[in-house]
Chains A and B, each alone.
Chain A
Amino acid sequence: MTTEKLRRVRTVTTQYPSFVGLTYLPGALLFIALAFVNPHASGPLTFFGFWAVVLPLLILLSRRISRWYRTRFGQVVPRAHRARRSRLIMGGFLVTALGLSISAGIVPWDERRGIQITHLMWAIAFIAIWWVGDFAGDRLHLPAGAALLVVLAFLGHSGFVVGSFDLVPDTTEGPALLDGVVIGVACYLDHRWLVRRLRGLGSALTGEACGQAESSR
C-alpha cells in the first residue's frame, strides 16, 4: 500500500465530520420555494403560513438526510480540538443569526439588505465548513459557492447582465432561484466528493488485500 493512499485515508477521515453533502439541500429548496411565493399574498398560503408549513418540513427533511448519511456511511467523532473549532463556528453562527433576527424586528430592513445578509451568512457558513476541513484543495466547490453568493449579494441581478441580455430577471424571484441553485450545486458537489473518495479508497484497499491473498497462495 502506498503512503499516498494512507494519506488519503487520513484526509477523508479528518474531513468527514465537516462534510456537508445533501444535508444543506433543504436550504437550497427554501430559496427556490421563496422564489415562487409572493410575500404580499393574502390567500390560504400567506407568507407567514409559508414559513410555518415549509420551514418545519425542511428541517425534518434535513434530519432525514443526515440520518441517511449516518446509516449509509457511518459516523466519525472528530478529535477534541476539531470538535471545539466546529462548536465555536456553530455558536458564532447562531449568535449572529439571533442578533440579526432581533435587529430585524427592531429596525425593519429593506428587502435588499435582508437578501445581502442572508447571502453573506451562507457564504460564511461555506467558508467555515471549508476551514473545519483544513481548506482542502479538492473541496474548492465550497469557496466557489461562497464567492458566487457574495457576488450575488452585492451585485444581485445587475451583475448578470451580459451585453443587452439580463441573465437574471429584474425581480426578487430571479436571485432567490439562483441562490437556491448555487447552494444546491455546492451541496451536491460535496456529496459527490465524499462518495468518490470513499469508493475509490475502498476499492483500492480491497483490491490490494485481494492481491496480497492471491500472491500468498
Chain B
Amino acid sequence: MTTPFEEIAGLDKLVHEPTRLAILTALLACDSADFRYLLALTGLTKGNLSAHLWKLEEAGLVAIEKAFVDKVPNTRARLTAEGRSATDGYWARLDRLRDGASNWKPDAE
C-alpha cells in the first residue's frame, strides 16, 4: 500500500503544473473561453499562454477554435471530453489525497 505522499508523485504532470491547472480549472467551469479571457485571468504573457495552450492541445485535453468575431480574429479554447475527465479525475484524486494525508499516521505503515 502506498502512502499519500508517494501517490503525489503519480499525479499527471501535464495537469499538475500550476498555470495549466488554472487554465483547465477555468475551462472546466464553462463551455469555452477565449484567449483574451484566459490572458486576463492568468496574467500570463501572450507567448506564455500560447505555449501552455499548445501543450494542452497536443495532449488532446483542450480543443482550440479560431474564428472572426466583428472582423477581429478570436481564439477560443474548450475542454475535450478527455480533458474534462482528466481535470475532474485530477480534482477527485487531489481531494482523496488531502483526506488521506490528514488521516495518515506513520505507525499505520
Contact = CB atoms under 8 A, between A and B. Distances in A.
B89 interface: no
Interface residue tally on B, bucketed by range: 20 to 34
Nearest to A67: B70
Given A198-B41, A209-B19, A75 B33 contact: yes
A185 interface: no
Given A74-B36, A74-B37, A205 B42 contact: yes
Interface stretch (B5-13, B22-30, B56-64): B22-30
Interface in B60-85: 69-70, 72, 74, 76
Interface string A1-37: 1010110011111101100000000000000000000
Contacts of A53: none
B21 interface: yes
Contacts of B94: 3
Interface residues of A, number: 35
A155 to B, nearest CB: 40
17 contacts: A10-B25, A10-B26, A10-B28, A13-B27, A13-B30, A13-B41, A70-B36, A72-B36, A73-B37, A74-B33, A74-B34, A75-B34, A75-B36, A80-B31, A202-B43, A205-B22, A205-B43
Contact of B42 (A11, A14, A70, A202): A202
A205 B45 CA distance: 12
Nearest to A10: B29
Main SS at interface, chain A: helix
Nearest to B98: A3
B44 interface: yes
Contact of A9 (B25, B31, B48): B25
A83 B32 CA distance: 12
A78 to B, nearest CB: 6
A215 interface: no
A76 B22 contact: no
A164 interface: no
A76 B43 contact: no
B108 interface: no
The 3 lowest CB-CB distance pairs between A and B, nearest first, are: A202-B43, A74-B37, A74-B36
Nearest to B26: A13
Contacts of A205: 18-19, 22, 41-44
Q: Identify which of A13, A80, A212 gathers the most chain B CB atoms within 10 Å of its CB.
A: A13
B103 to A, nearest CB: 18
A202 B30 contact: no
Interface in A75-96: 75-80, 83
A12 B21 contact: no
A9 B22 contact: yes
